[in-house]
Structures are given as structure tokens and as C-alpha cells.
Structure 1
């Protein structure tokens, strides 16, 4: 895949989508929009660093945040988070488990951490249920059965 650098330098960036040739980006097409994962980071020239998410450009300069809100995805992610005391899972692994876009699963995990439902480890890339999180419906045992 070839894209013109969005910072205005005019250079063409080659994005490898073929994992057989080495490290590769993954392309997600959902609802007619394109997402690339991971971010694109030019280590030479203009050194642009950005995320292409659902046809939107998000600069990775810390000044911009995505316009993302998806309570249904948060519910789905919460339902697959490792239980208290179990090893945390990387958000990419969680995304594969629910066929989600990794960026969105990461944002859902971070939102769950902010809500006090999840905890994170390893520089905010691995997640599990928080020790004091209320149980999910799927983890409640019906003792009347």
C-alpha cells in the first residue's frame, strides 16, 4: 500500500501489508472505512507519526485524541478480560478474540481502566479485571440451580 505522507512533505510512504515479507501492518475495512494497525511512524525525513483510523488521521503527538465512544465494544471487551488474579492479556490478543480493531480495543480497555473496572500492566498494553470490579453477569453463579 502506498500513501502520501499527510504532514505535507509530499513523500510517498510504503506500507507493507504482507506478513510473509517481514513486519507488516494490518488493514481493517469496516463500514466502508479503512484502519491501519499499528501506527505509521517515519523514522527519517519529516518523522511523521500518525494513526489511520476509520479514514481519519490521528497525529501521535499527544495533543489529539480519537473521537471514539462505543459502549457495546466496552461491554464485549469487559466480558473477555482475564479474571482477577489471572495474567493480564495484551489488547491485540483481546482484539483477535472478538474480531475487533486493535486501536478500538485498546481505547475500550483504557476506558474500562478509567471506569475502575479493569487494571493495566506492562506500560498500558495488558489488561485484566480490576481486583474490586463488580462481577459481570457471566461470572455470577445462580446458586438456586
Structure 2
């Protein structure tokens, strides 16, 4: 996905069960997606956010 902060960096989250770090993606009944855990960039823009039910929720 493209970073939602506007820096236009490509973010890649691994969904492989054997790998680390890894994320899980849930397809919700309302046809939205949820990604767990949060995404926290350690370099660049350093964005930290949750992707829940197809929406970005910024961490403080």
C-alpha cells in the first residue's frame, strides 16, 4: 500500500505465517479489510497507524 501520510512511499507488510514481522489481514463482512497489528515506520515519515475496517486510524 502507499503510505497514507502523503509521503508516497510504498509499504509492504508480510502476510507469511512463518515470517517476522508479519501482519494478518481480515476481510470483514461489510467488504472492508483490517490489518493487524499497527503499521509503524521506523524510517522516513515515521508514520504509525492502524488500518481497521478499510480506514486509517492514526496513533498518537
Short-chain TM bin: over 0.9
Q: Deviations over 1:37-84 (max 9, x none)?
A: 0000000000000000000110001xxxxxxxxxxxxxxxxxxxxxxx
State the 1:11 CA deviation: 0.2
Q: Paired residue for 1:78?
A: none
Q: Paired residue for 1:51?
A: 50
Q: Secondary structure at the match of 2:18?
A: helix
State the 1:4 CA deviation: 0.1
Q: Paired residue for 1:15?
A: 13
Which structure 2 residue ranges, 5 or more long, are not aligned?
none
Query: After the TM superposition, which residues 1-145 of structure 1 pair with which residues of structure 2 at under 5 Å, given as runs?
Result: 3-31=1-29, 32-61=31-60
Aligned-CA RMSD value: 0.8
Greater than 6 Å deviation, 4+ residue runs: none
State the 1:29 CA deviation: 0.7
Which structure 1 residue ranges, 5 or more long, are not aligned?
62-145
Decide which structure has greater strand share.
2
Q: How many residues align?
A: 59
State the 1:23 CA deviation: 2.4
Scaled by the length of structure 2, the TM-score of the pair is 0.92
